[in-house]
Structure 1
Amino acid sequence: MIVPDISQDAVAVADHYDDLDPIYRRVWGDHVHHGLWVTGRETPSEAVEALVDTVGDRLGLMPGQECADIGCGYGSTARRLARTHGVHVAGFTLSTEQARYAAERPVPGVDIRVRDWLVNGLADASVDAAWAIESSEHMVDKPRFFAEAHRVLTPGGRLVVCAWLAGTGASGWKVRHLLEPICREGRLPSMGTREEYEAMAKAAGFAVAGYEDVSRQVPRTWMICAGRLLKAVLVDPEIRRLALGAGNRGAIFSIPRLILAYRTGAMHYGIFTLAKAAETAGAHPR
């Protein structure tokens, strides 16, 4: 597990997204996550929706299901899956700015909450499906992240996790100059490997139903973000002030690190499909 030299907590994560909200909306748009280029011909909007649709497909969503979007950002994934699959979604974010933006774009069946997933308040076995797109990285207690997802899922329910992952065996300069700074600048308390994620998921009670390494299909995101950010800094005084402010420069300059981290294999992007065991025939509730 890669752990930065400066500890991060939920408050630091919330402050990060609240402070940089104008930049995130300008650079990332409504979806605060990577795009997935399946054919290579997708537009940026089509690519981010392709990742969302992949998550929905891996979950096997059915109309009327109750779902949880863990780290929902601006609520765009929740809104899209609610529309395309007819599900109800409770979204969890630490950012009041993200929740405010989402509240201005209401969709029936979508409820965005400002709440830490680790203390989510959901009842046991109350959710049919859950997903976390690039939010598990921000969890201070990753084993508890998985344990909470397992607790709230109904028997047979699925969790899909899209995650930034440290390359297995990454060491030396890749850790010192890429992975540790990426964690520090992006407010990630830690970054795990595929093996560590699978071990934590299994310890929580999940079976690993699938894993996909899409590291070659997502890095274009960062070249697009770099171009958008450069343009915004040149033409927008507010964006320039935020981007070049003393407390935010690290987050902005992480973009070249991320590009290099993917190219060198120091970092991977994985999609985990995890399943909670169904109730066995003849089992009696305790």
Structure 2
Amino acid sequence: MIVPDISQNAVAVADHYDELDPIYRWVWGDHVHHGLWATGRETPGEAVEALVDTVGDRLELLPGQACIDIGCGYGSTARRLAVTRAVRVTGFTLSAEQARYAAAHPVPSVDIQVRDWLDNGLADASADAAWSIESSEHMVDKPRFFAEAHRVLSPGGRFVICAWLAETDANGWKVRHLLEPICREGRLPSLGTREDYEAMATAAGFTVTGYEDVSRRVARTWPICARRLVKALFVDRETRRVAFGARNRNSFLSIPRMILAYRIGAMRYGIFTLSKAGEDGR
């Protein structure tokens, strides 16, 4: 597990997303996560929705199920799956700005809450399925992140995690100049490997039923973000004001680091499918 030299907490994560909100929506769009390319001909918007649909497929969602979106951002993933899979979704975000945007784009079967997942207040076995798309990285206590998901899910429930991961056995300059700074600049309390995640999931009681490394299929997200940011800095005064005056402005340094980290394999992107044992123990 890679830990930054400056500790990060939930307050820092919330401040990061609240302050940089207008830039995030310009650069990342409503979903605030990677796109997933299959042919390479998809638009960025199509690729982003492809990742959401992949999560829905792995969860094997059924109409009427109660679902949890852990780290829901602007609620776009929750809204898409609520509409396309006819499920009910409760989303959790630390960002008041993200929740405000979600409230302005309501869907009846989606409820967005400003609350830390590690203190979610949900009843035991109250959800049929859960997902976390690029939010586990922001969790201060990752074992508890898994434990809470296991507690909240009903027997037989599924949990899909899309996560930034460190290369197994990464060391030396890859850690010093890429992975550790990415944690610090991106407000990540820690960055795990595939092995770390599978060990924590198993310790929480989950069975790992699937894993896919899709690093090559998501990596083009970062050059797209870089181009969008440069364009925004040239044409939008508000972007310049926020970018150059923000407390969190060092976050933009992570964009070239991410491009390089994916290119050399220091950063990986994995999709985990986990399951909680059913009432029969299977």
Could you tell me whether the CA contact under 8 Å between 1:70 and 1:91 is conserved in 2?
yes
Alpha-carbon displacement from aligned partner over 1:101-131 (angstroms, at most 9, x marks no partner)? 0000000100000000000010000000000
Q: Give 1:38 shift.
A: 1.0
Q: Give 1:253 shift.
A: 1.4
2:12 matched residue in structure 1: 12
Could you tell me whether the CA contact under 8 Å between 1:129 and 1:153 is conserved in 2?
yes
The 1-side partners of 2:203 and 2:48 are apart by 31
The 1-side partners of 2:38 and 2:189 are apart by 30
Alpha-carbon displacement from aligned partner over 1:21-66 (angstroms, at most 9, x marks no partner)? 0000111110100000011110000000000000000000000000
2:255 matched residue in structure 1: 255
2:237 matched residue in structure 1: 237
2:47 matched residue in structure 1: 47
Alignment of 1:200-239 (within 5 A): 200-239=200-239
Could you tell me whether the CA contact under 8 Å between 2:139 and 2:188 is conserved in 1?
yes
The 1-side partners of 2:225 and 2:63 are apart by 34
Alignment of 1:132-171 (within 5 A): 132-171=132-171
2:87 matched residue in structure 1: 87
SS at match of 2:222: helix
Could you tell me whether the CA contact under 8 Å between 2:20 and 2:246 is conserved in 1?
no
The 2-side partners of 1:69 and 1:16 are apart by 20
The 1-side partners of 2:126 and 2:247 are apart by 40
Q: Give 1:280 shift.
A: 1.2
1:181 matched residue in structure 2: 181
1:194 matched residue in structure 2: 194
The 1-side partners of 2:44 and 2:244 are apart by 25
Could you tell me whether the CA contact under 8 Å between 1:242 and 1:248 is conserved in 2?
no
1:106 aligns with 2:106: yes
Q: Give 1:248 shift.
A: 2.8
Q: Give 1:242 shift.
A: 1.4
Alpha-carbon displacement from aligned partner over 1:245-271 (angstroms, at most 9, x marks no partner)? 363332111100000000111110000
1:23 matched residue in structure 2: 23
The 1-side partners of 2:27 and 2:262 are apart by 20
The 1-side partners of 2:220 and 2:137 are apart by 20
SS at match of 1:217: helix
The 1-side partners of 2:249 and 2:148 are apart by 34
RMSD (CA atoms): 1.0
TM-score under structure 2 normalisation? 0.99
Aligned amino acid, residue 150 of structure 2: H
1:127 matched residue in structure 2: 127
Q: Is the deviation greater in 81-90 or in 249-258?
A: 249-258
Alpha-carbon displacement from aligned partner over 1:63-107 (angstroms, at most 9, x marks no partner)? 000000000000000000000000000000000000000000000
Aligned amino acid, residue 98 of structure 1: Q
Alignment of 1:61-72 (within 5 A): 61-72=61-72
Aligned amino acid, residue 47 of structure 2: A
State the number of aligned residues: 282
- The runs of 5 or more residues in structure 1 that have no matched partner are none
Could you tell me whether the CA contact under 8 Å between 1:222 and 1:259 is conserved in 2?
yes
Could you tell me whether the CA contact under 8 Å between 1:36 and 1:48 is conserved in 2?
yes
Could you tell me whether the CA contact under 8 Å between 2:201 and 2:207 is conserved in 1?
yes
